Amino acid sequence: MDAGPQDEFSRMLDRALLGGAPSPELRPVRVASAVDEVSDRLLTAIAVGDFLPGERLPVERELTQLLRVSRPTVREAIGRLQAVGVIEIRRGRNGGAFVRDSWTESSGAAVRRTLLPRWEQFEQLFDLRGLVEGMVAATAARRRRPEDLDPMREALAAHLSARTPREEQAADSAFHRSICEATHNPQIARLSRDLLTRISLGFPVEPWGKGERSHFHRAGGDHKALYEAIAAGEPERAEEIARNHFTISADMIRDVLARVRAAHPS
């Protein structure tokens, strides 16, 4: 199968970050240990809040596409998560694999295996993402049209009035998606999504921590300030706000790794 545009973006960023070597956190899952790696990635993604308690995981078909593995591999990995009590399987039209808990005894080991060997690359990605998202916000401030502000306002209001972490996460995603759309350049939006996927272990979902209300309140304030800068057409201010804002996700992932290190000092 020919490589698509998203694969080309991955190769370009790999070359920029690592001098041509595929980045460990984003290369396709190794066949020899595919089930182990998929299980660890899912456990880690749940631990950092990519998927929250009560939320349904992507369907089997989508997981095979995101992680580039076979359906039997995904099926066995999901079975492992069910066995350790992280997810439950619900049958029926609205069924699927639903997250029960964000942390079990298996989570710490999975986080160590997933994050520690790749941590230098993750720090590089955190830095790169701040730079790119600053550019996205500045471009939106320069190019936004009056009609581009409506979805930003709606997403901002939804975030500030959210009652659950899942509602907060959905509104946050909608807000940043509206900023990407205001650049009027689909390639910029694709680059932003690619970087999000990279820091989120192959899943295009923003990490949401473990119910950290301080993160939520900081995000709400940042969103309001970012909207105001874009609406006012102030690219420098928008860039600065966005670069600082996107340290929240990095801090959430660092917090999870710090918890693991504190529990199991090496």
The answer to whether position 125 is within a domain reads yes
Structural domain ending residue among the three candidates 93, 115, 137: 115
Global pTM reads: 0.82
Is there a single domain that holds both residue 149 and residue 83?
no
Q: What is the mean pLDDT of residues 100-115?
A: 89
The answer to whether position 6 is within a domain reads no
Paired tokens of 126: 């955190």
Is there a single domain that holds both residue 237 and residue 144?
yes
Is there a single domain that holds both residue 77 and residue 158?
no
- List pLDDT tens digits, range 241-255: 999 999 999 999 999
Residue 215's pLDDT is what? 58
Is there a single domain that holds both residue 126 and residue 101?
no
Residue 238 has pLDDT above 50, yes or no: yes
- List pLDDT tens digits, range 62-101: 999 999 999 999 999 999 999 999 999 999 888 999 999 8
Is there a single domain that holds both residue 136 and residue 256?
yes
Is there a single domain that holds both residue 81 and residue 149?
no
Is there a single domain that holds both residue 149 and residue 249?
yes
Show the domain range for 184: 118-263
Torsion, Cα 204 252 122 100, to 10 degrees, reads -50
Torsion, Cα 230 129 245 250, to 10 degrees, reads 160
Report how many domains make up the chain.
Answer: 2
Is there a single domain that holds both residue 210 and residue 145?
yes
Structural domain ending residue among the three candidates 83, 115, 147: 115
The answer to whether position 3 is within a domain reads no
Structural domain ending residue among the three candidates 59, 85, 115: 115
Cα–Cα distances in angstroms (integers) from residue 10 to residues 86, 120, 133, 206, in the given order: 30, 17, 17, 18
Is there a single domain that holds both residue 136 and residue 254?
yes
Is there a single domain that holds both residue 47 and residue 179?
no
Is there a single domain that holds both residue 85 and residue 210?
no
Q: What is the mean pLDDT of residues 10-27?
A: 45
In a 10 Å sphere around its CB, with 0-12 CB exposed, 13-18 middle and 19+ buried, how is residue 38 labelled?
Answer: buried
Is there a single domain that holds both residue 80 and residue 177?
no
Residue 214 has pLDDT above 80, yes or no: no
